Structure formats: C-alpha cells, structure tokens
Amino acid sequence: MPEPARKTLFIFLDTDKHTTPFDILTAIDLFPDAQFLHYSNVNPEDAKVIVQDLMFPRGPEGVKSTKLFISGHDVRKATEILEVAKKCMFSPFQLAIIVDPRGAYTTASAAVAKTLAISIEKGFGDLNGKTVTILAGTGPVGQVAARLYAMEGADVIVNSRKMERSTAVAREINEEIGGERVRGMKATEPDEVGESISDADTILSAGAAGVTLLPLSVLKKYGRRCKIVGDINAIPPLGVEGIEYTHDGVEILPGVWSVGAVAIGNLKKKVEAQLFRRAAEAPEGIFDYKNAYEIAKPMASAKLKKRGM
C-alpha cells in the first residue's frame, strides 16, 4: 500500500526568548489544515539536534512536507542556524527552509521594491548609478536593504551612530556582493545625518520604532538631490518627519516623494505569504531575502504595468 499523504508541518526556530506569533499566525491563516511546532531561545547547537530529530520520523516522503522557518532578532545567529540545518541535511532527507529574521528580509525587500517602483513611476528611472542612503543602515533591515540596493546597481551609504560599526557592515556587504558599492558613515548629530544624505537620490529610514532619524529641516537643507524617501517605522514619532505611515507616493516636499510603513508593511505581508506558499510547494530549498525580493519587485511594480509604464 502507498504511504498516506502527510500533512504539511511548519516548524519555527526562533533565537528570541519568545517565538513571535506574527509568522505562525500568517502560516495558520494560509494553511489551516497544516500542523505547527515552535521552539524559542534556539542557538546553533540546539538547531543541530532539532533538525536531526525532525528529519527522520516522517520518512523520505514525509520530509518533503516538513518546512522549517528560522527567525529572531539576532540575524547572525539565525544565519548560523541556517548553516547548521544545511549541514544536517542529505538526500533524501532535505527540507524547504524559510529564513526571515524578525521580518527583516521581507521588510527590506518590500522597502527596496516600493522605493524603486515609486522612482520609476515618478519618472526618475531605476536605481542603477543612483545614490541611496540608509539611515540606521547597520540594523537587520538596513543591512539587507543595502545588499538589495547594491544589487540594483546603486551606490549605498549606511549610516550608524558608530563609524566602526558602519564601516564594518559596509566591508562585509562589499565582500559578499563583490565590489565597492557600499560605504559607512557616522551620523549622530543633525549635520552628520545631513552630510550622509547630501548626495542621495533615495533615502530609506530603517531604524527602531518611535525614533525620528531625519528631521524635516535636515531633509530640506541637505537633501537637495533627494527624490524618494521611505520609512519602515509605523510607531510615532516616525523615522522621517513629514512622512505619514500611510503615504504611498505622496509628495512631502517639492519633488520629494514618500512611502510610509503601512505601504511597505502591506507589501511585506504579501511577500511573506508568497514565501510560505513557495516553500509549501517545494520539497526542498532555501527561501531567503533574494527570493523575497524576487517576489516583491514585480508586486510593487504591478500598478505601473496597469498604466503601461
């Protein structure tokens, strides 16, 4: 007799004290008939045991419907867990794995895709050869956004309160993508923030919730080349003064167009849902920020196609 069909099983590994309900609830709504397990405070050593124990009970056919989701605020640790999981797997015991540390990959993908789409919509063209400044660019979302902007051909400035941190992140990204497109700058005082945006065509605020990183006065004084501004922060005070979290291609200064956290967040949720669907359909494979951006980019530009742009 053939084996009975296995239910899809999603197993969440979170580096944080408490597993975030966001991703689990997203998956439950998408797959109400699936099963779910979750682990918190996971470190790479834990991951090895967990992955090895989940690979075998369902057999080679059952493992095809077993999916892993890696999350947590600690992006480096999440990446280490992914590497551990990859080393554990071998044919025919291989899993489909989604990596989205606390939503950083899907949020960054949505933010870059939205700013690119608005740039094209408003007649400024794509990102190739443009300069992009990422405020708080050394955080999880900022680092992924920097990679994606650089992959689109932009020159990227990541700023941070500490010069050592920004230059270290820039060096790491340049080594990964193979080039010198990313550089770090210190930006603590308003004039330092201003200097970091003075050549920017696009600005993305990727900082913590409830912290204003770019006052409107600084944008007016220094952002003379700026055409597009994005902000991922939905909790007042917002990251960029003058942007509302609902903005989606709204002109906040003459010739400066904005996209706020809700517009970015709505796309992020659609991207994450599609990542889940792709992983659910695939017997194996890694679904990370590159896959997320591959999904986000055409979604963000869909309305442009409707207009024939």
Structural tokens at position 38: 């979750």
Give yes or no for a contact between 263 and 114, defined as CB atoms under 8 angstroms apart: yes
Closest to 239 in 3D by CA, of 142, 171, 98: 142
User: How sure is the predictor about 304, in pLDDT bands with cuts at 50, 70 and 90?
Assistant: low
pLDDT at 307: 47
Helix (H), strand (E) at residue 22 = helix 21-30
pLDDT at 306 exceeding the cut of 80 = no
CA–CA separation, 277 and 122 (whole Å): 32
What pLDDT does 1 receive?
A: 44
Render pLDDT for 26-84 as a digit per residue (tens, 0 to 9).
999 999 999 999 999 999 999 999 999 999 999 999 999 999 999 999 999 999 999 99
137 and 157 Cβ atoms separated by less than 8 Å: yes
Q: What CATH topology corresponds to 105-264? A: Rossmann fold (3.40.50)
What is the number of residues in the chain? 309
Mean pLDDT of 283-294: 97
Q: Distance between CA atoms of 183 and 166, rounded to whole angstroms?
A: 8
The SS3 of residue 182 is strand
Determine the pLDDT at residue 303: 63
Model pTM score: 0.94
Q: How far apart are CA 69 and CA 54, in angstroms?
A: 13
Model pLDDT for residues 186-214, shown as the tens digit of each residue: 999 999 999 999 999 999 999 988 999 99
Q: Are 262 and 246 in contact (CB under 8 A)?
A: yes
Q: What is the pLDDT of residue 67?
A: 97
Q: Average pLDDT in the 166-175 region?
A: 96
| Lookup: tokens for 276 | 């889940």
Q: What is the mean pLDDT of residues 110-137?
A: 97
Secondary structure E strands in 148-255: 155-160, 182-186, 202-205, 228-231, 248-253
Q: Has residue 309 got a pLDDT over 80?
A: no
Provide, rounded to the nearest whole percent, the portion of the chain with pLDDT above 70.
96
Q: How confident is the model at residue 305 (pLDDT cuts 50, 70, 90)?
A: low
Question: Residue 4 pLDDT more than 80?
Answer: no
Q: Is residue 290 a contact partner of residue 283, using CB atoms and an 8 Å limit? A: no
CATH of range 9-103+271-300; options 3.40.50.10280, 3.40.640.10, 3.40.50.2300, 1.10.10.10: 3.40.50.10280
- The single-letter code of the amino acid at 2 is P
Tokens of 298: 């055409």
**Shared fold status for 9-103+271-300 and 105-264:** yes
Instruction: Pull the structure tokens for residue 115.
Output: 């700013």
Q: Where are the domains of the chain?
A: 9-103+271-300, 105-264
